[in-house]
Amino acid sequence: MKKAKIAGVGFHVPENVITNDDLTKYMDTNDQWIQERTGIKERRWVTRGEDTTATLAAKASRIAIERAGIEPKDLDFIVFATLSADYYFPGAGVILQRELGIAETEIGAVDVKTQCTGFIYALSMATQYIETGMYKNILVVGAEVQSMALDLTTRGRGIAVIFGDGAGAVVLQPTEEKGKGILNTKLHADGRYAEKLIMPVPGSHAGYHNDKLETPSDWNFSDARWGNTFINEHMLTNSMIYPYMDGKYVFKMAVTKFPEVTKESLDAEGLEVKDIDLFIPHQANLRISQFVAKRLGLPAEKVWNNIQRYGNTTAASIPIALAEAWEAGKVNDGDLVCLTAFGSGFTWGTALIRW
C-alpha cells in the first residue's frame, strides 16, 4: 500500500496583534500572570467582518497548495478541523471549498470536530484515503476564530487570555519513496471527561447531562420555561455561551497522555524518542510542552514552540507550527517529525512522519 506524504505546508494568522497588556483593558489580568502560567506574550485576533475561520483557512491553504505544486482545482477532497466554523451548520469545509473558487469541482468536504486534536484526526482520516488510492490530492486544514467566543470580562479571564485565531494547512499526496511519509497515526478519546473542557451552548442537551457539568452553579440548562432551543436569552445574559475549563485537570491529563501516545506511535515503528528530529506538540500551554518534553527526555532544540506569539489556536496550532518550522528550515528530507495533540473530549493523538 502507498504511504501519504505532506507535499506542501502553509499558515496564516490575522495581522491584529493582541498583547497581554491589551487584555488589561477588558479584565483584571496582567502580563506576568499570563506569561508565568502559559508562556503567552501575545496572540492574533481577527478584525470582525474582515476574516472568518474559512477565510483564514483559504489563505493558509493557497500557500500549501502552491508549495505542493498544484492548483486548487486539482484537489480531490477537503478535511477541515475546527471548533469555530463560520456557521453552526453547514461546516467550514464547504465554505473553504467556495472561498478557494473550486465549488464547481464538487469535491467532497468534511469537518472534523475533535478540538485541539482536530488536525491529527483530520490528517489520519485523509491518510487513509491516500493509502487506499481513493484520492491523490487532499487538503487538510486546521483553522479557528476563537476570539469571538471568549468572555472578555474578569469572570472569563482564566480562558480568554489563552486562545488565539489562525489557520494552518497541508496538502497530502501519495509517495512511492520507501520508508517516507506518514508512518502511522494513533487516535484516542475518553468521553468520561467531555465536560472538563466544554462550550455547552449552542447544543441540544437541555439539561440532560446536568449531573456531569462542572460549569458554574448559576449555569442552568434545564429550565423548561426556556423551551426547546439551542440558545436562549437566559443563557446569553448569564454568560453560559462561553467555554468552561477545569484547567488543573486538563494539565494533569495532558502531561500524561502526550508522552503516552508519542511512545505508542514510536513503538509501532520500532523507533525511540532519541530518533525524533522535531517534536511539534499542540500549543496548549508552554508549561505543558516543557513538562512533556522533560518527561520524554527531548532536548529543547528538538521541540517547536510558538505559543508565545500566537496563543493556543486549538486545531490550527499544529499545522501553523509545522509550516513555521518548515519555513525556518527545521524540517528536512529524511527527518522524523512527531506531531502530538491533546484536547477537549478528551481526545489525543499522534502523527509520526518521515519527511
* Interacting residues toward ligand ACO by CB under 6 A: 29, 33-34, 37-38, 116, 157-158, 161-162, 197, 247-248, 250-251, 254, 284-285, 287-288, 312, 342-343
Residue with cell 486562545: 163
Q: Is 209 a catalytic residue?
A: no
287 versus 330: smaller Cβ distance to ligand ACO:
287
Q: How far is the CB of 322 from ligand ACO (least distance, A)?
A: 17
R_g of the chain, CA atoms, integer Å:
20
Q: Has 116 been annotated as catalytic?
A: yes
Q: Looking up cell 494547512, which residue turns up? A: 169
- Decide whether 138 or 161 has the Cβ nearer to ligand ACO: 161
State the residue number with the nearest CB to ligand ACO.
247
**Cβ closest to ligand ACO, residue 33 vs residue 87:** 33
- Nearest distance in Å: CB 81, ligand ACO: 13
Out of 116, 137, 306, 338, which one is annotated catalytic? 116
Closer residue to ligand ACO in complex, CB, 69/216: 216
Q: Which is nearer to ligand ACO, 37 or 113 (CB)?
A: 37
Q: Which three cell numbers stand for residue 196?
A: 472538563
Least distance (Å) between residue 162 CB and ligand ACO:
5
- The residue annotated as part of the active site, out of 12, 20, 137, 282, is 282
Specify whether 312 is catalytic. Answer: yes
Strand-pair category, 108-112 with 77-81: parallel
What is the smallest separation between the CB atom of 196 and ligand ACO, expressed in angstroms?
A: 9
Q: How far is the CB of 29 from ligand ACO (least distance, A)?
A: 3
E-strand ranges in the chain read 3-12, 17-19, 42-44, 77-81, 108-112, 138-144, 166-175, 181-189, 197-198, 244-245, 278-281, 336-343, 347-354
Closest by alpha carbon to 322, among 283, 280, 353?
280
Cell of residue 267, nine digits: 513503538
Task: Closer to ligand ACO by CB, 29 or 232: give it.
Answer: 29
* Nearest distance, CB of residue 156 and ligand ACO, angstroms: 9
Catalytic residue set = 116, 282, 312
